[in-house]
Structure 1
Amino acid sequence: MSPAITVLETTHKKRQNLSSSAQDIVIVGNPQMPKLAPSPGEEPKPLAPLHYAEKEAIEIAKMFNTSALIGSNATESTVVERLKTARIIHFATHGFVDNIQPLNSGVALTPGGSEDGLLTADEIFDLKLNAELVVLSACDTGLGQLTGDGMIGLSRSFLNAGVPSLVMSLWAVNDRTTSQLMIQFYQNLQTTPNKAQALRQAMLTMKNQYPDPYYWAAFTLIGEAE
């Protein structure tokens, strides 16, 4: 069975089992960045702050009459706890990919105590989520090893955790233009329940302003559109 068919079957089953009690909207933006080694054997260095990602998170949170988890508030423990009751989850932060060990891929959060601030695919894999949509507004988060059983990496982990619809990037993205694209995407979702249409329209809007596909074509929807 092809990976695409496997993903579609999995996400359809997940959507049928979603809990109606999931009402929280979790928006994470520009946490206090953790340290990450640029390459194996090198000294870990703090990831660069993403100022437009912070603005993005704040603007999207306003649409849902909630507050974004920003800076020191975006700790790994706080975010993971909130994920359990979330209907929509949005990460506007750095993503990182380990193509040798895909389950070490993840998203950057605020470190604290014994937490390294790196929420990995391995940690996400066994979570029990009830979210109908997860958006990874981050760099490289769609790049995982493709196998017969589906993508190994963040995408597969979120699907296994119960998420039927996932929006993620296929290459490193620009902080400023990604912020604009994501705000437009959520504005479109206010008028259409179809996530694929909302994303496509956001891309077309951005294309008018930025003709180079680098700025608007990175994101894709995995799973169910509605």
Structure 2
Amino acid sequence: LMDNDTGPPLARPAVLRSLPRLPDSACEVEAIGRVFGGSASLFTGPQATETKVKLLDASAQLAQYDVIVFATHGLTAGEAGARAPGLVLTPPDTPTAEDDGLLTAAEIATLGLKASLVVLSACNTAAGEDANAEGLSGLARAFFHAGGSSLLVTHWSVYSSAAVEVSTGLFRTLQDEPDLSHAEALRRSVLAILDDPAQDPLRTHPSYWAPFAIVGLR
């Protein structure tokens, strides 16, 4: 954190940039985008900013998306100095109250969403806010408050390749059978990994496929 004379402390962009790279995150959103075809809007790298999210919200475009995917780091309160749970986006050179690179739960809760599914393909997005906490973190609750109907969250740090396999498998399943529940689509995506005899043994271990969960209305 760094001091901010006009409001709450700001995230330090240098600290956010020092977080481990997620080498498969761009591949993940591009693969999901191909499932949806021309109806998908992709924002990666320098476009994936807190400013962009807030502009999409202010123009009501964010409310038009039925599915929203964040493939990035999720921080719990206190992690990497975060003042609150949040999603790490591309940090600006100079942090401001509007954009310091960390989209916090409080900021998420003010968004206007109508998404049937929000994918938080990140680390610990369903974790409690401290080591002894139970249930959904403030980050996940914030998306419900903003209007999301259901969430794909993770219970611990995930392999980036697992995030790609599980999320793209889920969406391909829903494309083939749109009436399935999100939970059933997730189950089938995981089973496709486990039932593949050619899989690396790592991919059949629960540490690889088990952190993903659907919470919400569908």
Task: Bin the TM-score by the shorter chain.
Answer: 0.7 to 0.9
Choose the corresponding residue for 1:75, options 33, 46, 49. Answer: 49
Q: Are the aligned partners of 1:168 and 1:220 in contact in 2 as well (CA < 8 Å)?
A: yes
Cα deviation for residue 103 of structure 1 reads 7.5
Cα deviation for residue 126 of structure 1 reads 2.2
Cα deviation for residue 97 of structure 1 reads 0.8
Structure 1: stretches of 5+ with no match in the other structure: 1-33, 37-43
Match status 1:134 vs 2:118: yes
Deviations 1:163-193 (A, max 9, x none): 1111100000001122111111111111233
- Range that drifts further, 69-78 or 138-147: 138-147
Kindly report which structure 2 residues correspond to 1:99-178, keeping only aligned pairs within 5 A, or say none: 104-112=84-92, 113=94, 114=96, 115-145=99-129, 151-178=136-163
Match status 1:58 vs 2:30: yes
Match status 1:191 vs 2:176: yes
Q: Normalised by the size of structure 2, how large is the TM-score? A: 0.76
Deviations 1:4-25 (A, max 9, x none): xxxxxxxxxxxxxxxxxxxxxx
- Structure with higher helix content: 2
Q: Normalised by the size of structure 1, how large is the TM-score? A: 0.73
Cα deviation for residue 85 of structure 1 reads 3.0
Cα deviation for residue 132 of structure 1 reads 1.2
For these two proteins, the number of residue pairs brought into alignment is 183
Q: Which amino acid aligns with 1:201?
A: R
Q: Are the aligned partners of 1:58 and 1:67 in contact in 2 as well (CA < 8 Å)?
A: no
Structure 2 CA distance, aligned partners of 1:129 and 1:116?
22
Structure 1 CA distance, aligned partners of 2:14 and 2:211?
25
Cα deviation for residue 67 of structure 1 reads 4.0
Q: Which amino acid aligns with 2:87?
A: V
| 1:64/1:166 CA distance change after superposition, 3 Å | same
Structure 2 CA distance, aligned partners of 1:126 and 1:102?
19
- Structure with higher strand content: 1
Choose the corresponding residue for 2:205, options 212, 215, 218. Answer: 212
The sequence identity of aligned pairs, in percent, is: 37
Q: Are the aligned partners of 1:35 and 1:47 in contact in 2 as well (CA < 8 Å)?
A: no
Q: Which amino acid aligns with 2:20?
A: A
Structure 2: stretches of 5+ with no match in the other structure: 1-12, 57-61
Q: Are the aligned partners of 1:59 and 1:183 in contact in 2 as well (CA < 8 Å)?
A: yes
Structure 2 CA distance, aligned partners of 1:35 and 1:107?
15
Cα deviation for residue 49 of structure 1 reads 2.1
Structure 1 CA distance, aligned partners of 2:137 and 2:74?
15
SS of 1:189's partner is helix
Match status 1:49 vs 2:21: yes
Structure 1 CA distance, aligned partners of 2:187 and 2:161?
19
Structure 2 CA distance, aligned partners of 1:191 and 1:102?
40
Q: Are the aligned partners of 1:103 and 1:152 in contact in 2 as well (CA < 8 Å)?
A: no
Note the aligned Cα RMSD (angstroms). Answer: 2.3
- Range that drifts further, 115-124 or 105-114: 105-114
